[in-house]
Structure 1
Amino acid sequence: MKLYKIAVLPGDGIGPEVTKEAVKVLNKLSEIDSRFYFETKEFNWNSEYYLQHRRMMPENGLEQLKKFDAILFGAIGDPRVPDPVSIWELILPIRKQFQQYVNLRPIKLLRGLENPLKQEVPVDFVIIRENSEGEYINSGGLMFEGEKREMAVHNTVMTRQGIRNIAEFAYEYARENGLSKLTNATKSNVMSYTMTFWDQVVEEVAAQNKNIAYEKYYIDALAAYFVQRPESFHIVLASNLFGDILSDLGSAIVGGLGIAPSGNINPKGTFPSMFEPVHGSAPNIAGKGIANPMAQIWSAALMLDHLGRKDLHDAILRSIEEVLMEKKVLTPDIGGNASTVEVGNAIISKLKME
């Protein structure tokens, strides 16, 4: 039997509250499935750590995390620490150094949730976002600060290898999951260098996967189609910035950020992958016990799927849907008055293996 070693980084704000519930779900699964063994180690690397040590994690932090099979991440962000510090000194170093070049975000309308668009259509697709380069590169600078001619430059970097890696992953994901169409999110009509290059490489990969339908939309039109016909998508492939924006829009049309999970994946398994909810640290409700833990619990389910236990992923998702369908124990963001702990306990009470 394999022992899964999981690093837990609860983070800031509501992160520790929702992460605690996700770990409770994992513990329950280990009780009801004798083949599932895991151990966790918690790392309190967050904004409080930064205020004490002037860094978001120890100098050897990445070396410590390398030893784990996966990372379960809560949320980061605190008004006392500038966002560029917390992001560029914690989340992005993990994503980039561990070559987590895939950001996977399911956009699925779960049973028991009403479609905010009031449409009677099934919504079930995935956004696959390039996660290591593109627009989120620390390349640029300021010139002539404080002068009338002050200017800022931020570079976008796209490499053939980076684009090809994410496109090949997307097509492999389509094959493994029985999906028959890939949609390319682009803006090559005006971003004539980077996005034209993106389209070129994506279409080279598409030509090698002709059994899967290919379509291309400019991101502004695609955002409208998310609202008008979300049921028409299977896989949406996007650059770092475009994928970030589209995935929040996608989350909004299936119930909100309190439900939305994500995975930062190293497909080759050379480093651990990291799983986190899409929502932020929500400092305005931190400590009130009303944060929705479903996104974090679903993120833990994605982690289990990545580790080869799709059956455990499916068990968690069924439990979440049962709680949603009963409509008895829900947090305020989705129309209830239950606490974070009560929702976590309700999901645990539904857990069973089929």
Structure 2
Amino acid sequence: MNLYSIAVIPGDGIGIEVVPAAIQVLDTVAEIHGGIRFDWTHFPWGCEYYLQHGTMMPQDGIDTLKSFHQIFLGAVGMPGLVPDHVSLSGLLLKIRRELEQTINVRPAKLLHGMKSPLAAPQDFDILVVRENSEGEYAEVGGRVHRNGEEMAIQSAVFTRKASERAMRYAFTQAAKRRGHVTSATKSNGIAYSMPFWDDVFREVSQLYPDIQAASNHIDALAAFFVMKPHVLDVVVASNLFGDILTDLGGAIMGSIGIAPAANLNVERTYPSMFEPVHGSAPDIAGKGIANPLGQIWTSKLMLDFLGHEDLGEIVLGAMEDTLDDNVKTADLGGTANLKEVTERVIEHVKLRAEKGVSITNRL
């Protein structure tokens, strides 16, 4: 039996509610499978911790996390009390950087039972692979002249190693899917980093002759997400471009509240971290009406990374079955609460496991 030790950081707002819901689903999957178990260790890190201790996590927090197989994160943020740059840099970004989670993966898929705001979305299924360690988010720059003539400089950093790593990962994922990788660029306007990115992409694509490769400028690619998302398979992008495209991906799915993300240490020298894209939503926190599907989909990504793709398909299929039943929270136009959605997902997990139904063989 595989026993996985998971560090749980519910964080803030609705994270405290949706994380236990997803854990219930994962524990149900483990009970059904019999060959896996999860050992959950909870950490109260986040903005409440910051208000009490002046830091988002303890000084030895990173060393503590290194002993776990994976990290399960809820949401981070407490607008009005803790500045966003403090909450993000003190926890989420700190973990990503110091545990070398250099690849961010976010799917955008039209789920059964979801209504896309697009008029004719067809069945799109996009996987965005985002370089997660440098690019436009590199901590290089500063501010000078604070006397009324202030100036800020922010430098983007693109290394061959990080760019190539993200692209190689994108091509390996495309080989498991529909065999196409699109690179997001802006080399017609950004003079150095983007032509460099294009050069590396061309070189990497030659190593995968069986995979189709294309390069699109980010503005045109954003339009493709809206006008013809069904033609896209795997998209590889820099830190900033990937961040923007995946929010757009959540929007065309029908709600950014259901979108999942994985921050991967692909070398597996440190734990990876799995989190939903949605924020802490303090306006609805504590009311029991938050949508747990983003966190539950995130658990599917963790199962995939652990090598249990078959179990991950059961979870995603159970989500779609629940949406097909019209058991939805208010943000999706339904009347169900968090508990009702979670219970229905668990019910469908059990049904799918009993009948051996996969996501491609629907009930």
So what's the TM-score if we normalise by structure 2? 0.95
Q: Which residue of 1 aligns with 2:29?
A: 29
Q: Which amino acid in 1 is paired with 2:204?
A: V
Q: Shift of the alpha carbon at 1:283?
A: 1.2
Looking at structure 1, the residues matched to 261 and 59 of structure 2 have their Cα atoms a distance apart, in angstroms, of 27
- Consecutive unaligned residues in structure 1, runs of 5 or more: none
1:340 corresponds to 2:341: no
Q: Shift of the alpha carbon at 1:324?
A: 0.5
Q: Which residue of 2 aligns with 1:14?
A: 14
Query: 1:319 aligns to what SS in structure 2?
Result: helix
Q: Deviations over 1:198-249 (max 9, x none)?
A: 1111111012212111111111111111111000000011000000000000
* 1:22-171 superposed matches below 5 A: 22-79=22-79, 80-119=81-120, 121-147=122-148, 149-171=149-171
Q: Shift of the alpha carbon at 1:120?
A: 5.2
Equivalent residue pairs, number: 351
Quick check: 114-123 or 126-135, which moved more? 114-123
1:269 corresponds to 2:268: yes
Looking at structure 2, the residues matched to 246 and 165 of structure 1 have their Cα atoms a distance apart, in angstroms, of 19
CA contact (8 A) 2:274 2:301 kept: yes
Q: Which residue of 1 aligns with 2:349?
A: 351
Q: Which residue of 2 aligns with 1:255?
A: 254
* 1:229-240 superposed matches below 5 A: 229-240=228-239
Runs of 4+ in 1 over 2 A off after TM superposition: none
Looking at structure 1, the residues matched to 165 and 177 of structure 2 have their Cα atoms a distance apart, in angstroms, of 20
Looking at structure 2, the residues matched to 320 and 168 of structure 1 have their Cα atoms a distance apart, in angstroms, of 30
Q: Shift of the alpha carbon at 1:340?
A: 1.1
- Consecutive unaligned residues in structure 2, runs of 5 or more: 357-363
Looking at structure 2, the residues matched to 125 and 246 of structure 1 have their Cα atoms a distance apart, in angstroms, of 11
In structure 2, relative to structure 1, the CA distance for the partners of 1:236 and 1:143 (3 Å cut) is same
Query: 1:253 aligns to what SS in structure 2?
Result: helix
Q: Deviations over 1:61-95 (max 9, x none)?
A: 01110111111100100021011111111111111
Q: Which residue of 1 aligns with 2:317?
A: 318
Q: Shift of the alpha carbon at 1:178?
A: 3.2
Q: Which amino acid in 2 is paired with 1:340?
A: L
Quick check: 109-118 or 6-15, which moved more? 109-118
Q: Which residue of 2 aligns with 1:279?
A: 278
CA RMSD of aligned residues (A): 1.0
Q: Which amino acid in 2 is paired with 1:106?
A: P
Q: Which amino acid in 1 is paired with 2:112?
A: R
Q: Which residue of 1 aligns with 2:226?
A: 227
CA contact (8 A) 2:103 2:263 kept: yes
Q: Deviations over 1:154-195 (max 9, x none)?
A: 1111101110111111111112x1321111101111111111
Identity of aligned residues (%): 48
Looking at structure 2, the residues matched to 69 and 11 of structure 1 have their Cα atoms a distance apart, in angstroms, of 19
CA contact (8 A) 2:47 2:76 kept: yes
